[in-house]
Amino acid sequence: MDETTPSNPEEYQYLNIIQKIISVGTWEEGRNGRTKSIFGEMMRFSLANGQIPILTTKRTAWKTCLRELLWFIRGETDNRLLQEQGVHIWDGNTSREFLDSRGLNHYREGLIGPGYGFQWRHFGGEYDAATGKGLTTGLDKSLAEGLTSRKSLGIDQLRQIIDALKDPAQRTSRRLIMTAWNPLQLDEMALPPCHMICQFNVHDGNKLSCSMTQRSCDELLGVPFNIASYSFLTHLIAHHCGLEAHEFVYFKGNCHLYEEHIEAATTQLQRTPFAFPTLEIRVRRENIEDYIVDDFVVNGYKSHEAIKAKMVA
């Protein structure tokens, strides 16, 4: 290690979990391969003063992460929209072979089903496999077609949270919860959500924090994206609602390394973290779904080189 490199104690939370898995984790044979795992961990990351925890012990493709997040925020489920932006993280889980293995033969290749963003924006709504959207794209259209039931529309959880955070009388509610885990529709999803539920909390009048609970944590490839994604989301919602981003708290269930990732993870452990960068959001748009990647500026991101590893679908 380079002893002159600035230390970053928050990133060591992640590295310590990697080390713990390698040292004391147990080998398990799972759905998609052999993993070494532990269960039940937690990390906290400050978002104060614009800080954003994009991991530095390997290069993190934060724009790819952000493009996926904005796709979630828009309620999209079609991987082709990500592929058009050069994002391929969903390719393995939306291939024809993978969809057929889930019994989703009626989905065209590229659809994830009513997961993540669909549940954020249309929780419990009826999913249209022909379009990859809800059966309704908005209340006006729904009313015009006579589809006024909650079952057809679903619940826009993200909109409810934003409306509450903009209202000083509601923003301290302990019910600002958004979940992607909908047991009634899990079998319609290409992949049941790994990051399942988050809660937003305001204290001291304007400091916004987010906690997120994740059932399955792919430590080498997935977790760095999850940390960055929910930190981006918290910064964005704070900015959009006139609040200050304060903290991201991460609760983790099954924390694992795939057998083929152990060597790469060991390499990452030899690196000393740099300081986290900061985030600037240039504009405040009218609607949360209107933000684009170019609205976000990450300043001072210094990292070690990327570590190549194959994603396990």
Q: What is the DSSP string of 18-48?
A: HHHHHHH-EEEEETTEEEEEEEEEEEEEE-G
pLDDT in tens, the chain (313 residues): 444 445 799 999 999 999 999 999 999 998 888 999 999 999 999 999 999 999 999 999 999 999 999 999 999 999 999 999 999 999 999 999 999 999 999 999 999 999 999 999 999 999 988 888 876 544 444 444 544 455 577 999 999 999 999 999 999 999 999 999 999 999 999 999 999 999 999 999 999 999 999 999 999 999 999 999 999 999 999 999 999 999 999 999 999 999 999 999 999 999 999 999 999 999 999 999 999 999 999 999 999 999 988 877 6
Q: Is 70 exposed, middle or buried (CB count within 10 Å of its CB: 0-12, 13-18, 19+)?
A: buried
Contacts (Cβ under 8 Å, ≥6 apart) of 201:
174, 176, 208, 209, 210, 211
Task: Confirm if 269 and 19 have CB atoms less than 8 A apart.
Answer: yes
Give the C-alpha distances (Å, rounded to integers) separating 46 from 74, 222, 282.
Answer: 26, 20, 21
3-state DSSP assignment of residue 196: strand
- What is the predicted pLDDT for the residue at 139? 45
Beta strand pairing call for 26-30 and 33-46: antiparallel
The amino acid at 40: G
Domain limits, the chain: 9-299
pLDDT at 141: 46
Place of tokens 């400091």: 207
Residue with token string 């209202």? 167
Candidates 65, 194, 198, 217; catalytic one = 194
CATH fold for the domain made of 9-299:
Thymidylate Synthase; Chain A (3.30.572)
In the residue annotation, 194 being an active-site residue is answered as yes
Q: How crowded is residue 77: how many other Cβ atoms within 10 Å of its Cβ?
A: 30
**Three-state secondary structure call for residue 171:** coil
The alpha-helical segments, DSSP class H, found in 184-253 are 222-240
Distance of alpha carbon 162 from alpha carbon 159, whole angstroms: 5
pTM value is: 0.92
Query: Distance of alpha carbon 235 from its chain centroid, rounded?
Result: 13
The SS3 call for residue 156 is: coil
87 DSSP assignment: -
First to last CA, the chain: 33
Helices 262-269, 9-24: inter-axial angle, 10-degree rounding? 140
